[in-house]
Amino acid sequence: MNSSPIIAKMQVIPVAGYDSMLMTLSGAHAPCFTRNLVILEDNAGHTGIGEIHGGDYTCDCLNAVRPLVEGQPVSCYRQILQTIHRLATRAEADDGAGIQTLDISKLKFVVKSEWAIECAMLDLLGQHLGVPMCQLLGEGQQRKEVEMLGYMFYVSDKNKWTDTSLPYLDESDSKDPWFRMRREVILTPERIAEEAQILHEKYGFENFKLKGGVLAGQEEMEACRAVKKAFPNARVNIDPNGAWSLAEAIELSKDMHGIITYMEDPCGPEAGYSSREIMREFKNATQFQVATNMIATDWRQFYHTVSLNACDIILADPHFWGFDGAIRMSQLLNSWGLTWGVHSNNHFDITLAAFAQVGAAAVGDPAPLDTHWIWQDGQNLLKDTPQIVGGKLQVPQGPGMGVTLDMEKVMEANALYNRLPSHDRDDALAMQYLIPGWKYDHKKPCLVR
């Protein structure tokens, strides 16, 4: 009898990587981002890996459940997760609001730490059975490559950051045009169009998304027009993270049919109405398809979102929903004639490999998936990072996740983590180097003060 291996050891290793001065509604990305890795070893000699949101809160949550994981059969991964869920309690600071106003301090409550454990256990199970992880999800593997989009950001001047103890990465001497550009200032429609062109040349992207909520809405729409002019056949989308009022979003959307494919979270709560109600009114007024990763981040929120017909595309990041949950969402949306996709946050290539597996198992016709990895490309923690070719992420063919951890690189990333004065994301900190006294306002683009 081929009995299940036993999880012999669970490690939680916090890591950090370098970032650009990327702009969002919540401010500017700091020079470094943080993540937490889960590494599971079984008694058959296999290693399973997972990656999740950074910070001490998530790290502590993972370490707290180690006794519930070690000593358990790999094949009982569902029961292990159920035990973790039954014993979990809501943090005092978690008011259930989620990220409907992009309060970054609440993101750690939306991202569930145990999904990194689920990923690592599925990696082990796939290795034990000799099949790719995607064969264990939902209805099994649906495709061998996953269409991705070029996730474009405005980038501010990193030289205004004067903390010399931890500067932004400088790649001005790189021979790679993309590596050079991603550390430069990108704040005009022309530069955004150039960004799209360089991303297309390096990764083959045919579809693009612009992170909005940075400049005045009209300027961001001009950037979308510039990208569409350069790539007439591309799907071009924008995500202002709910920065616009309903009236402004409707006005900005005039004449944008044929340029923008869908709007992601164009509006947020206002005048006593929830984000879901406001987004439904936006759809009524504009006839645009609407996507979200802000107003449907769990099953209860999803119920109210679809009850109001507020969204057409649910971006079900497995770090919000879990791997099983993300695929169940794809099945449900496909049955209802809606669309599944994946959102992302800053991440290493372990998450990229996980996205490949989830994207390969999603049923139907998914929207092109997000990934931040292009902004971190080159800081790989894997020896065999999955590649994006022709705009499509290649699904590893080996068992489990099909990738191999580079422990030397992991420990370098851990050393960088330990150098950081804070492990929590704080986009206001870098913004205050750009605009003294800057404070977050979920109804004001970050550079509009």
CB 348 within 8 A of CB 32: no
378 vs 361: CA distance, rounded Å: 27
Distance, CA of 174 to CA of 342 (rounded, Å): 31
Dihedral sign for Cα atoms in the order 447, 108, 407, 404: negative
Per DSSP, what are the bridge partners of residue 151?
209
* Residue labelled with tokens 């679809």: 306
Strand partners, 304: none
Alpha helices in 7-165 (DSSP H): 56-64, 66-69, 77-87, 107-110, 114-129
How far is the C-alpha of 203 from the C-alpha of 386, rounded, in Å?
12
Provide the greatest CA pair distance for the chain: 67
- 8 A C-beta contact, residue 209 and residue 263: no
Whose tokens are 């050079």? That residue is 180
Q: Which of 367, 349, 332 is nearest to 403 (CA)?
A: 349
The region, left, alpha or beta by phi > 0 then psi within -120 to 50, assigned to residue 67 is: alpha
* Helix or strand run (H / E) with residue 224: helix 217-230
CA distances from 265 to 243, 308, 369 (A): 8, 15, 16
Cβ(203)–Cβ(152) under 8 Å? Answer: no
Answer yes or no: are the C-beta atoms of 21 and 161 closer than 8 Å. yes
147: which 2 tokens?
């269409």
Q: How far apart are CA 295 and CA 305, in angstroms?
A: 7
Residues involved in catalysis: 211, 343
Tokens of 77: 């991964």
List all residues 6 or more positions away from 184 whose beta carbon is below 8 Å from its beta carbon.
155, 172
Q: Is 42 helix (H, G, I), strand (E, B) or coil?
A: strand
